[in-house]
Structure 1
């Protein structure tokens, strides 16, 4: 038999981020987004090459 627990109200979490850390995180995000674009293009090229080989 399960024990019922009273529902707790949601809690808010406050986080402090320093400017230099925020800048570093943004730069990392931008690099990762560029990598996703590059890998997506490589995948499309590989799919296209594969279609040409099979044709």
Structure 2
């Protein structure tokens, strides 16, 4: 594990990096009709880092 990663990962409650596929799934969901009643939201995809 690289030095940057070893310092960064402990700050993420899930203790891992997100994958490109996880980001793509969130984008696909927002772009679909599923969130039809949702407006003006910021969706944070950070493994819980912003909550800690």
Relative contact order, higher structure (CA 8 A, sep 6+) = 2
What's the TM-score, normalizing by structure 2? 0.30
What's the TM-score, normalizing by structure 1? 0.29
Q: Highest Rg: 1 or 2?
A: 1
